[in-house]
Structure 1
Amino acid sequence: MASLRRVKVLLVLNLIAVAGFVLFLAKCRPIAVRSGDAFHEIRPRAEATNLSAHSASPIQDAVLKRLSLLEDIVYRQLNGLSKSLGLIEGYGGRGKGGLPATLSPAEEEKAKGPHEKYGYNSYLSEKISLDRSIPDYRPTKCKELKYSKELPQISIIFIFVNEALSVILRSVHSAVNHTPTHLLKEIILVDDNSDEEELKAPLEEYVHKRYPGLVKVVRNQKREGLIRARIEGWKAATGQVTGFFDAHVEFTAGWAEPVLSRIQENRKRVILPSIDNIKQDTFEVQRYENSAHGYSWELWCMYISPPKDWWDAGDPSLPIRTPAMIGCSFVVNRKFFGEIGLLDPGMDVYGGENIELGIKVWLCGGSMEVLPCSRVAHIERKKKPYNSNIGFYTKRNALRVAEVWMDDYKSHVYIAWNLPLEVGPSSPPRLLRTVILVFDRSLPLIR
């Protein structure tokens, strides 16, 4: 095992050395090489695949062939990791391009149990590549925008509990494949005390071998729920910016730069990538219309029409101001998130935290916006499999938000739910509310 590891390391070092040499040649101006009475240019790397057809020098041709061979060897080694888990890498196969994937009648029968267990077709997911491409639904103008090369780095945080391994790893692969290397500080997987054996040693071994030094795994010793699990992910993060995502998403090319650019301009912005839908039965990726995220009196989040001034501007690439967030993905400056008290740790499991964060951000001098130039596709499960009493927790958390933040309007929330509940001690978050509001209003005087 140790000798195999050394071979892999040597292969990777060879690959890096040769790649560096080729990049050096690519950066240099074309070099004229005498061959008899003729001169031949050594072309930039962008044309490397056609070098032999354009009379490249024998030395560079040999270097490029060696590079290609080493890439192939390393890829086969890495691809072997997924094969041992019964999964697939590469850009082809079922579901390529976000098209619906299908199963044979015999496979459909095998898929029924796992589908019910996870709330999506996990059996089909195992037949879809971890690296599949998905449609780019960004407005045309977004693809023409240019961004600074000096953007802050992001820590991407995925929360999971008893999720299908293939879906988690596709989220990780997609994040790595579509986030520029210099902007991706790390990926943090927070396991909220899963029971599934494949999410223990097999997951950890895979990510540490496939992405050494890039992926961290944080394990909760007891079930904390989505809200407190996100706080644990934030504690482990070291990037200037933190992005929180469900562990069943796929990213579109160019998703990161517009998000990081908006936060760089104003650290108090909370950015929500636009959400597209991954169908839970076929994994087809469907485009959702540009929307803001609002909420009902039950404090249940929903898609709503963007504000009138956004429509009047006539530019679908512009950010959309939003009062709250759906909750499956949001990106925030790490320090600012800490300054406003993170999420309320007194909330349990799921629900309400997305409304609370929106209220808190807007009241504390920040803003929240949906970004059409950044798109993330998300599986909308047919049920939440991790808790059979999810309605109780969403109701309790909603009433907790009302008690802490809504003052005279909280009665509307109680009426909407038609049942008062014990929401737990609200003094700590109410005190936090007072502190951050006073501090925010004092800043102009301090300055």
Structure 2
Amino acid sequence: MSPITVVDTERLGQTEFCECVACWLIQYPFSNCFSLPLPFTETPLKGEYVQGDKSFSDSSLFAHWGQELSPDSRRVALKMFQYYGYNGYLSDRLSLDRAIPDLRPDGCKNVTYPSNLPQVSIVFIFVNEALSVILRSVHSAMHRTPFHLLKEIILVDDNSDNGEHHRPYQSRPGFIKVVRHNKQEGLIRSRVSGWRVATAPVVALFDAHVEFSVGWAEPVLTRIQEDRTRIISPSFDNIKYDTFEIEEYPLSAQGFDWELWCRYLNPPKSWWHQANNSAPIRSPALIGCFVVDRLYFEEIGLLDEGMEVYGGENVELAVRVWQCGGSVEVLPCARIAHIERAHKPYTEDLTSHVRRNALRVAEVWMDEFKSHVYMAWNIPQEDSGIDIGDISERKALRKRLQCKTFRWYLVNIYPEMRMYTDTVAYGVLKNSLKTDLCLDQGPDSDNVPILYLCHGMTPQNVYYTSTQQLHVGVLSPTIDDDDNKCLVDVNSRPRLIECSYATAKRMKLHWIFTQGGSIQNKKSRRCLELVASNENEFGYQLSLQKCTGQKWSITNTLPGGSL
């Protein structure tokens, strides 16, 4: 049996939804009919709640909301929050047709757009989403997208297990289509499933927990009509997960760090120089939701379906589009509010999936800069032990599309990204005197490196460069972020100082280090060593002193690098 079932709404009978939902789906007006069937009972279950339960006061759900609720209602609200990652209890009690503020720049509000714009298919992806949140997303799309531009809405249910999504949807014949996966495929493959069902010239791929602002569609469709190789992201605002209030976000481009986690960026200088805050913003990457010409999306290779669950696919798509002749833009005139969940629906820990996906991107698209991804994740570049799957088809796609190099992308599209081509070794740094302890950046505010039990996470990442610097802690992703911290000899004490500052002040930041040998400051000639200490919980502390021959080792060396 195919893992995908397409439900043709033309053949659906009557739904079991309440009357207001049915009338909403066929676009009859309604006003006060907003109650929905609730999946969580209001009746307390025996033993589930005790007056003064500490979990209530500890939950972030109740920090700004819900103080007036009864204990039983708080229990239900908390249970829904733990399930959905947002306040499903409140969502079920909000209007499906609520107004949201128009946060577009003033220059967007009197623009005239062509009358012959292409139609759009809007695809909503969900798994275990609150029904009221899905309906509000769809309702918002229908009422804030011009009727003649909205070809259809496609709902992709990635094998939800909460039961309330397994009822048929009623709609105008053929207007709302439902795709249900018989097994969970993950967000990446779910988006491709939705694209395969779409029939409009343009496809918008969104999460099913968004609300559209007025006038969002026309600027997006205009830019794609002008150039079909543009992929467009709206400007996002936040729907607070606890209160469902709309929080305005500043206009931003979208980028990523070297672990390939997506992030917001300052718009490029070229955008600021235009002095026009309604102008499109050139963007190195995509946060996640985007709009694309349906056929161009196929030509460029869709999403990488060899990736798992989600994370990294938005970076891969944007890098591929830029390197292969297209472009990515964020439009200030198209604003969409999006719920940022307190926790994700697919898995409690996305890290392993994002890491695997990031390595696929690195191996296919990043050329010599793939080392930066391995460094950021603190993984050996050779024999990483992570199965990233078959990437031969993606490499063939790159060759067929005759794409540019990743260096071209960094220089021309993402010049804010820091390059670390001078790194020769990375990982955790251990002294043979006590191999269960690692060099650690310690508390951020102290700038004093410490010894701590080895765990291999970001505070213990160390990078040794060909210029003999030792960077400790996270790799600073862009020039707009705080600089990397360098190990410096300050009055015979080890300290962590921003590398650019230490360089400008000609501080003692250069270290002679060979694998399995000492770490000696080039200027002071003192060595970084361990000394016994009764005051330290692990029995040792770091010191700079006359060299006694203590030996240090770092986990990974880069191919071609030497220590």
Partner of residue 417, structure 1: 377
Q: Could you say which structure has the higher strand fraction?
A: 2
Matches within 5 A, 1:31-430: 74-75=28-29, 83=35, 85=37, 104-106=68-70, 107-201=73-167, 204-205=168-169, 208-209=170-171, 211-327=172-288, 329-419=289-379, 420=384, 421-430=386-395
Looking at structure 2, the residues matched to 195 and 113 of structure 1 have their Cα atoms a distance apart, in angstroms, of 16
Between the aligned partners of 2:359 and 2:265, the Cα distance in structure 1 is: 22
Q: Secondary structure at the match of 1:398?
A: helix
Q: Which whole-Å CA distance do the structure 1 matches of 2:316 and 2:189 have between them? A: 14
Instruction: Work out the CA distance in 2 between the residues paired with 1:147 and 1:86.
Output: 42
Q: Secondary structure of the equivalent of 2:402?
A: helix
**Cα distance, 1:366 vs structure 2:** 0.7
One-letter code of the match for 2:214? A
Deviation of 1:438 after TM superposition, in Å, equals 6.5
Query: Cα offset for 1:101?
Result: 7.6
Give ranges in structure 1 of 5+ residues lacking alignment. Answer: 17-70, 88-99, 440-447
CA contact (8 A) 1:227 1:350 kept: yes
Percent of residue pairs identical: 56
Matches of 1:292 and 1:3, distance apart in 2:
45
Partner residue, 1:95:
none
- Residue deviations 1:269-311 (CA, integer Å, cap 9, x gap): 0000000000000000010000001111111111110000101
Deviation at 1:109, TM superposition (A): 3.6
Determine the C-alpha separation between the residues in 2 that align with 1:83 and 1:379: 21
CA distance in 2, matches of 1:3, 1:350: 35
Where does residue 449 of structure 2 map in the other structure? Answer: none
Check 1:393–1:438 CA distance in 2 against 1; reply closer, same or farther (3 A cut): closer
2:298 and 2:182 map into 1 onto residues whose CA distance is 23
**Alpha-carbon distance in structure 1 between the residues aligned to 2:118 and 2:330:** 19
More helix by share: 1
Contact persistence 2:108–2:333 (CA under 8 A)? yes
Residues 309-348 of structure 1 deviation map (CA, whole Å, 9 limit, x = unaligned): 1011111000000010111x10000000000110001000
Cα distance per residue 1:89-115 (max 9 Å; x no partner) = xxxxxxxxxxx9867321334211111
Distance across 2 between alignment mates of 1:308 and 1:151 = 31
- Aligned partners of 2:151 and 2:200 also within 8 Å: yes
Shift >3 Å, 4+ stretches: 82-87, 100-104
Distance, in Å, in 1 between the alignment partners of 2:328 and 2:297 is 12
Distance 1:84 1:348 in 2: 33
Question: Contact 1:297 / 1:416 at 8 angstroms: preserved in 2?
Answer: yes
Residues 398 and 3 of structure 1: is their aligned pair in 2 closer, same or farther, counting only changes over 3 Å? closer
CA-CA distance at 1:212 after TM superposition: 4.3
Kept in 2: contact 1:101–1:124 (CA 8 A): no
Asked if the contact 2:325/2:403 (under 8 Å) is kept, the reply is: no
**SS of 1:194 mapped into structure 2:** coil
Deviations 1:367-402 (A, max 9, x none): 000000000000000111321341100110001100
- Work out whether residues 133 and 209 of structure 2, in 8 Å CA contact, stay in contact via their aligned partners in 1: yes
Whole-Å separation in 2 of the counterparts to 1:395 and 1:163: 25
Alpha-carbon offset, residue 85 of structure 1: 3.3
SS at match of 2:74: helix
TM-score (norm 2): 0.60
Contact 2:144 2:213 in 1 (8 A): yes
Distance 1:382 1:164 in 2: 14
Q: 1:128, 1:404 → 2: CA distance? A: 46
In structure 1, C-alpha distance between the alignment counterparts of 2:239 and 2:232, rounded to whole Å: 21
Q: TM-score, length-normalised on structure 1?
A: 0.75
Contact 1:306 1:321 in 2 (8 A): yes
Instruction: Tell me the distance in 1 between the aligned counterparts of 2:65 and 2:244.
Output: 6
Size of the aligned set, in residue pairs, is 353
What is the CA–CA distance in structure 2 between the aligned matches of 1:437 and 1:139, rounded to whole Å? 38
What is the CA-CA distance between 1:423 and the residue it aligns to? 1.0
- Secondary structure of the equivalent of 1:259? helix
